[in-house]
A and B are shown apart, each in its own frame.
Chain A
Amino acid sequence: AQDEIIYGVVLVGPRNDRGWSQSHFEAGQYVEANNENATMLFFESLNEADTPEATLMDVVTEMVDSGAEVIFTTSASFEQDTNGVAEAFPEVVFINITGSNVLHGDAPFNVGNFNTLMEVPRLLAGCSAALASETGKIGYLGALIDPETRRLAASSYLGARHCWNTYRADMGMDLEFTVTWIGFWFHIPGFTLDPTEVANEFFDNGADVVISGIDTTEAIQVAGRRASEGSRTFAIPYGNAGGCDEAPEACLGVAYYNWGPAYLDVVNSAQDGSWEQSWDWLALDWMDINNPDTSTAGYLRGTGMPEEIAANLDEFQGALADYMSAQDMGVESIYLWEGPLNLQDGTELAAEGEAVPLLDIWFSPQLLEGMIGASE
């Protein structure tokens, strides 16, 4: 018999964007489903363009007014404002995803950050791309350039390179991994490149798999359309478990977030007053990476994935899990963020055999050597 709790979720995009914002909205719903005393408030599309009249402060004020005790501000673009708001409402718990203020130590006591090891699903995404590709050309649809987007692109590349060299040696050619940045997290017509057209170009220029690194689903749309027209094209959407739905037959898989469990922890701990500030890089469930109750990110294989590659993907996933879970599952263990690794300009990131420290990954200064595309 615990007392009621109201929590707010502030989304930067529409709740049905099939990507980033939707995954947070669903996390909110997950809490409601697993804690009968919890009720969600939410506010979608809080950005200067869609809602010029409202700031985070306005929205939070309204939410607190309606009784919210925990508020999730679900975009790095809320990172700064969250601090200010948190000072104004010290009695409320704020979680900013995916900020790092807490890490830097310049966040008020009632602010927490968390992020998840999306890098791992990305490795899997990259691997399946390499396994499925017949042309050896993979396109990566990048958002804007910052450390987060760089490390996600780099992870995809590492996965792809590994599986290409390990399982596709017979192709007898080098993998071509190209990154095109559109300029923002989603398509702002006229201000950014049009992801639809960028994806089309990848395919026009011989790529047969496009990995999406943006909040929205243009890549899978285009792949699906081309597939329906008879060409062999795949995409790997990003962010939301439902990412494949727009074109299942062309979907190799989706690297998605599953914030629900983390949200639930926060709400519960706030409810019983046990919440404490922290900066968490949330773990995945290595035994069952797609477990909705235990794994905070996952890689869901798409119906479009050719089954012949499944075996290789399993093997790679197993080896990865073996390393990450730090317990022996009787398979060789692989960790791809491991030397020898060079940055795009050739400077060494990690020497032979040594692993790249998490924080160096977090603050990736450049793309990696071997990737085609701008680093800034």
Chain B
Amino acid sequence: MNVEFLNTLASVVANATPLVIASIGETITERAGVINLSLNGSLIVTAMAGFIAARVISFGVDVDAIDMIASAEAGLIGGVVVAMLVGALVALIIALSSIELRLDQVTVGFILTLLMADLAQFLGQEYTRIPGPVVPKWPVPLLQDLPLLGPVFFQQNVLVYLSYVLVIGLWFWLFRTRPGMAHRAIGERPEAAYARGTNVNRLRYVYVVLGGALVGVAGGAYSLHFKPGLSNPPAMQGDGWIALAIVIFGGWHPFRVVVGAWLFAALRAVSSDIQKNGLAVLGQTIEFNFVLLNGLPWLMLIVTLLLVSSGAIERLLLLLPGPVQRRMRSVLRSDPPRAIGTTFEVD
């Protein structure tokens, strides 16, 4: 396998990282029965907040400053923290309006999507297109030397590793721990959770805010590494919607979610590769109009959702042998959490 190809794979994994983190955050939220539709806006506004915080900490408020007043690490950590807080704050608005005010989550989420995007541009204008601290690459000792796996997965930065941890962690949490059961239960059947002594609405606050905080991390990941700095229009514009779709494609299961995210990132890589080399089918290469190629990811988005709604993915279950079926059930199940989008009240 040649090095260019490994590089490309590594880039796909890297480019997918913010999507993974954001979709995992949204998965946490939706598993608790709440939709945070504001993802697109949240990502943009948290990217803005994270970058400005990091920039100000490392370089001071002067936007023309070129020498640091504090270490890049300090700036980066501060940036991620601020991004998390902002993401959590936006999510809190949704939690409050849904739990306390019984407002439609989709409505509030949509308004926030637009508002946050504009807010980010408004507050960020002075800080666009200026350099700031960038999350450095950090190859994992030992693991980085693994053949194939090493270069692709373990010669990345901490954010990428964080995404691995989140995926596996969330899976373990949801399907192996007792509080994880409560987490799923409040999204599936809050009444049952309540009957078992779970404080449904308090937990919903917790998970909505937590999910929002992760969306914040994703936003920070963009402006502090993957699409460094701020720009107008924001470079991650639209990814929030893709992340939301990935959650559905992922059947609210962390493993399927991460696959979905990598799929999209790969597709983007492919569509610009096709522009250069055309698409090789059975020997002869087909040339594509390079502009139309940019539509590919969006077609893909529709197709993946079709796969889910047509139950195609779930049908895989039937093909599998019994014991495997039982193992794979939670992965291939595509039903949304039953109580998603609903409010829960006692008396």
Report the stretch among A13-21, A62-70, A90-98, A280-288 that lies at the interface: A13-21
Report the stretch among B181-189, B224-232, B306-314, B324-332 that lies at the interface: B224-232
A228 to B228, CA, bound (A): 13
B4 adjacent to chain A (CB < 8 Å) = yes
B273 contacts A201, CB within 8 Å?
A: yes
Contacts of B10 in A (CB 8 A): 204
B150 adjacent to chain A (CB < 8 Å) = no
A45 adjacent to chain B (CB < 8 Å) = yes
Q: Mark B1-34, 1 if CB is under 8 A from A, else 0.
A: 0001001101100010000000000000000000
A246 adjacent to chain B (CB < 8 Å) = yes
A204 contacts B11, CB within 8 Å?
A: yes
Residue among A183, A188, A197 making CB contact with B15, cutoff 8 Å: A197
B144 adjacent to chain A (CB < 8 Å) = no
Residue among B225, B227, B229 making CB contact with A246, cutoff 8 Å: B229
B272 contacts A16, CB within 8 Å?
A: no
Question: Among the interface residues B8, B134, B238, B276, which one has the most CB atoms of the partner chain A within 10 A?
Answer: B276
Q: Which A residues between 106 and 144 are near B, CB-CB below 8 angstroms? A: none
A196 contacts B227, CB within 8 Å?
A: yes
Question: Among the interface residues B4, B134, B137, B291, which one has the most CB atoms of the partner chain A within 10 A?
Answer: B291
Report the stretch among A155-163, A217-225, A305-313, A330-338 that lies at the interface: A217-225
B294 contacts A191, CB within 8 Å?
A: yes
Closest to B129 in A: A18
What secondary structure prevails in chain A residues at the interface with B? Answer: loop
Contacts of A374 in B (CB 8 A): 275, 290
Contacts of A196 in B (CB 8 A): 226-227, 235
B290 contacts A181, CB within 8 Å?
A: yes
Q: For the complex formed, measure the closest distance between the CB of B296 and the CB atoms of chain A, giving whole angstroms.
A: 11
Q: For the complex formed, measure the closest distance between the CB of B15 and the CB atoms of chain A, giving whole angstroms.
A: 6
A32 adjacent to chain B (CB < 8 Å) = no
Residue among A17, A193, A216, A228 making CB contact with B272, cutoff 8 Å: A193
A225 to B294, CA, bound (A): 25
Closest to B226 in A: A196
B271 adjacent to chain A (CB < 8 Å) = yes
A200 adjacent to chain B (CB < 8 Å) = yes
Number of interface residues of B (CB under 8 A): 41
A266 adjacent to chain B (CB < 8 Å) = no
Q: For the complex formed, measure the closest distance between the CB of B71 and the CB atoms of chain A, giving whole angstroms.
A: 14
Q: For the complex formed, measure the closest distance between the CB of A310 and the CB atoms of chain B, giving whole angstroms.
A: 23
B268 contacts A194, CB within 8 Å?
A: yes
A200 contacts B15, CB within 8 Å?
A: yes
Contacts of A84 in B (CB 8 A): none
A192 adjacent to chain B (CB < 8 Å) = yes
A189 contacts B129, CB within 8 Å?
A: no
A246 contacts B298, CB within 8 Å?
A: no
B228 contacts A225, CB within 8 Å?
A: yes
Q: For the complex formed, measure the closest distance between the CB of A79 and the CB atoms of chain B, giving whole angstroms.
A: 21
Q: Mark B124-164, 1 if CB is under 8 A from A, else 0.
A: 01101111001011000000000000000000000000000
Q: For the complex formed, measure the closest distance between the CB of A277 and the CB atoms of chain B, giving whole angstroms.
A: 35
Given contacts A181-B275, A224-B131, A247-B131, contact A229 B11 (CB under 8 A): no
A175 to B229, CA, bound (A): 32
Contacts of B269 in A (CB 8 A): 197, 201
Given contacts A197-B269, A204-B8, contact A216 B129 (CB under 8 A): yes
A373 to B275, CA, bound (A): 8
Question: Among the interface residues B4, B129, B234, B236, which one has the most CB atoms of the partner chain A within 10 A?
Answer: B129
Residue among B235, B268, B276 making CB contact with A373, cutoff 8 Å: B276
Closest to A196 in B: B227
Q: For the complex formed, measure the closest distance between the CB of B256 and the CB atoms of chain A, giving whole angstroms.
A: 24
Q: For the complex formed, measure the closest distance between the CB of A223 and the CB atoms of chain B, giving whole angstroms.
A: 11
Contacts of A200 in B (CB 8 A): 11, 15
B283 adjacent to chain A (CB < 8 Å) = no
A198 adjacent to chain B (CB < 8 Å) = yes
A181 to B275, CA, bound (A): 8
Q: For the complex formed, measure the closest distance between the CB of A2 and the CB atoms of chain B, giving whole angstroms.
A: 33
Given contacts A183-B294, A196-B226, contact A204 B235 (CB under 8 A): no
Q: Which B residues between 202 and 243 are near A, CB-CB below 8 angstroms? A: 225-229, 231-239
A188 to B233, CA, bound (A): 7
Can you list 18 residue pairs at the A/B interface with Cβ under 8 Å?
Answer: A14-B125, A17-B232, A49-B233, A50-B233, A180-B276, A183-B291, A189-B233, A193-B271, A197-B269, A204-B4, A204-B11, A218-B227, A218-B235, A221-B228, A225-B225, A245-B66, A373-B276, A374-B275
Apart from A204-B7, A225-B225, list 7 A-B contacts with CB within 8 A.
A180-B272, A190-B294, A193-B271, A193-B275, A197-B269, A204-B10, A224-B131
- Residues of chain A whose beta carbon lies under 8 Å from any beta carbon of chain B: 13-14, 16-18, 45, 49-50, 178, 180-181, 183, 187-194, 196-198, 200-201, 203-206, 216-218, 221, 224-225, 228-230, 245-247, 372-374
